[in-house]
Amino acid sequence: MLAGLLKVAATDPKLKGMTANVGAGRLHLTGIDQVRPWAVGVLAHHAPVLLVTATGREAEDLTAELRAMLGEKVVWFPSWETLPHERLSPGVDTIGQRARVLDLIAGGSVSVVVTAARGFCQPLLETAEGREPIRLREGEEHDFAGLTEQLVFRAYNNVDMVARRGEFATRGGILDVFPTTADHPVRVEFWGDEVTEIRQFSVADQRTDPDIEVGSVEIYPARELPITGDIAQRAGELALKHPGNATLVELLTKISDRIPADGMEALIPALVDTRMVTLPELMPAGTHLVLVGPEKIRTRIADLAATDAEFLAAGWEAAAMGASGPVAAEGLDLAASAYRSYESLQVTAQKSGLPWWTFSPPGMFEADEAEVLPLDFEPGPTPRGDAAQIAEMMSLLLAHTTAGGRAAFIAPAQGAIKRMVERFAEAGIPAKAATPGWEPSPGEVTLYQALSHGGVVFPKVRKHRDAEALPLVVITETDLTGNRVGDIAGAKRRPARKRNRVDPLALKTGDFVVHETHGIGRFLKMAERTIHAGDETSRREYIVLEYAPAKRGQPADQLWVPMDSLELLSKYSGGESPTLSKMGGSDWKNTKKKARAAVREIAGELVELYAKRQSAPGHP
């Protein structure tokens, strides 16, 4: 959406001076936080960029801002949530996203990769069988049996009903699968070996959505290390060599049986001969490493290494006291997976011929020979909700646009854009909502629906037709209101912890429970079912709810909710005995629609009330 705005900003002499240094081995940039995404966006038009931040939140925020400028060519490389030697595995969504980014890097289809310090310093396999995705497209042919084998190899669980990422189920010629990188599962229908239809479906009721056409799907692995025959064999041999470490033997035995197990990633260096490398070594030639806040990144990497060492030491102490020990054992070399130091990463970049650039706030410099290039831009107006300062900002914008200058306002919501168009019109300022790629026009404020956390003034951009070269003023909704806006791009938002969460052990027969999709039901019982998945048999627990019958005179409907889907349920908190909802009916949707309308009405009344209070004169 901001491609046109970025194009105009790139004509500023200071940013042009930065691009004149493309290819320089060392460069230290200084400037305010607000200019960072613009500088990286301009640089990305000249060379691939690996952008590193100290924290994951910074990485996600910059990904969102850069994606608004460069689109899908910006990707976020997430870090493991676990330590390298911990007996826990990263989440399947993290593993899938990492595999996807590595696949895109190998294909040369990304301009900017953003990662945090942990993802920057943690080694990974240079290559791995099964890291590439399974690609399915309507009209193509795939061996159905071979496809299920490939899913198992990529550590997908064969279940009775798909409910979470990394699971698949088969029924006749139908394959349900929840890719590790997807927000929703898909149903793939086969006619023989031909894929005839791919549709998205709902986890809650397992129904496909006829309004959403998928057409194709990419299925990335659920484990960092798919278990090959060679890996299984080596795991069995190592189990025999270390009989004294029960924890290690248990883990290795599962791997030798080709059963993915929590913590198996900790043994990667011992199970494969493939070289362990860091992310910069997998980037294409000419990639510029840009480290935002280098001192913070250096400190973060040192802290990570210290934490991992303390974790191992604590594990051995616990083992000495009789607890299960760490997976590390004497004679088992796992050093290749340890975090790399900041200094070693610098050496790696230098050996790989990758420019090492750093970016710090004004006045902060690197203590080395790097040339310093100040990007001394000023922030845009920041009234942050103050009425007097908002009025002053409007006056400045009116004078600026009257003189032929250009200005841009950025907000992530369409409603905010519409409201600001009206407010600018009331202030006599010409304003127009932009379409994707639109450049800001002289003499008016151009409004962009995108995410940006701070405005900046580009003092001298190129002339537009006959307009004088005046500053380009960029303002964001955060500057205007003082509130942080927008969601993190590339990240999956965790569901909020419900206030009325259901405790299965506290439920009594007849209690009313609210299902997110089906509405109000009555608790009947807890039950178990036997689930057959190939040669394996397992027991699964369910909460059984009763709903109103679809038609009068028929028995009540029942819904069996798996225990691992409790987040879909909440306690009924109404004051009176409710009417049971109908499964799949429209009554619950209409109820929620009315509730939302009532909330909006109350919110509007509160806003009006607070506005009157603000404008009312106080007591002398």
Over range 322-351, report the average pLDDT.
80
Q: Are 447 and 420 in contact (CB under 8 A)?
A: yes
In a domain, 529, yes or no: yes
Q: Are residues 139 and 123 in the same domain?
A: no
Q: Are residues 451 and 541 in the same domain?
A: no
Q: Are residues 461 and 606 in the same domain?
A: no
Over range 111-127, report the average pLDDT.
96
Q: Are residues 366 and 283 in the same domain?
A: yes
Domain-terminating residue out of 315, 345, 374: 374
**222 versus 595: which is more confidently predicted?**
222
CA atoms of 518 and 587, how far apart (whole Å): 9
pLDDT at 613 over 70: no
**What are the backbone angles phi and psi of residue 426, rounded to the nearest 5°?**
-60, -30
Domain-terminating residue out of 339, 359, 374: 374
Over range 196-208, report the average pLDDT.
89
pLDDT number for residue 488: 38
Least reliable range by pLDDT among 90-94, 188-192, 331-335? 331-335
Average pLDDT, the chain: 87
3-state secondary structure of 231: helix
pLDDT tens digits for range 516-535? 888 899 999 988 887 766 66
**148 versus 531: which is more confidently predicted?**
148
In a domain, 556, yes or no: yes
Least reliable range by pLDDT among 46-50, 56-60, 263-267, 560-564? 560-564
Q: Are residues 52 and 87 in the same domain?
A: yes
Q: Are residues 362 and 408 in the same domain?
A: no
Domain of 352 in residue numbering reads as: 25-128+261-374
Q: Are residues 111 and 138 in the same domain?
A: no
CA atoms of 583 and 147, how far apart (whole Å): 34
pLDDT tens digits for range 155-176? 999 999 999 999 999 998 999 9
The segment with the largest mean pLDDT, out of 213-222, 326-335, 461-470, 546-555, is 213-222
Over range 540-544, report the average pLDDT.
84
In a domain, 448, yes or no: yes
pLDDT tens digits for range 350-404? 999 999 999 999 877 655 656 899 999 999 999 988 899 999 999 999 999 999 8
pLDDT number for residue 395: 95
pLDDT number for residue 332: 76
Q: What is the CATH number of the domain that holds 278?
A: 3.40.50.11180
Provide DSSP, 184-225.
Answer: S-EEEEEETTEEEEEEEE-TTT--EEEEEE--EEEE--SSSS
In a domain, 567, yes or no: yes
CA atoms of 599 and 346, how far apart (whole Å): 54
Q: What is the CATH number of the domain that holds 537?
A: 2.40.10.170
Confidence of residue 607 (pLDDT cuts 50, 70, 90): low
Q: Are residues 596 and 571 in the same domain?
A: no
Confidence of residue 63 (pLDDT cuts 50, 70, 90): very high
pLDDT at 284 over 90: yes
Q: Are residues 370 and 397 in the same domain?
A: no
pLDDT number for residue 468: 53
Q: Are residues 111 and 145 in the same domain?
A: no
CA atoms of 485 and 495, how far apart (whole Å): 18
How far are the Cα atoms of 508, 519, 523, 572, 594 from residue 547, in angstroms, in the given order? 16, 9, 9, 14, 21
Over range 422-445, report the average pLDDT.
93
In a domain, 117, yes or no: yes
In a domain, 14, yes or no: no
Q: What is the CATH number of the domain that holds 214?
A: 3.30.2060.10
CA atoms of 126 and 281, how far apart (whole Å): 9
Over range 101-121, report the average pLDDT.
96
Q: Are 578 and 571 in contact (CB under 8 A)?
A: no
**502 versus 196: which is more confidently predicted?**
196
In a domain, 20, yes or no: no
Domain-terminating residue out of 450, 481, 512: 481
Q: Are residues 148 and 195 in the same domain?
A: yes
Q: What is the CATH number of the domain that holds 432?
A: 3.40.50.11140
pLDDT tens digits for range 402-425? 998 999 999 998 889 999 999 999
Over range 65-71, report the average pLDDT.
95
In a domain, 308, yes or no: yes
- The residue length of the chain stands at 620
Q: What percent of the chain shows pLDDT beyond 70?
A: 88
The total number of structural domains in the chain stands at 5
CA angle 362, 364, 368 (to 5 degrees): 135
Q: Are residues 279 and 421 in the same domain?
A: no
Over range 196-200, report the average pLDDT.
94
Confidence of residue 490 (pLDDT cuts 50, 70, 90): very low
CA atoms of 606 and 78, how far apart (whole Å): 41
pLDDT at 225 over 70: yes
Q: Are 211 and 222 in contact (CB under 8 A)?
A: no
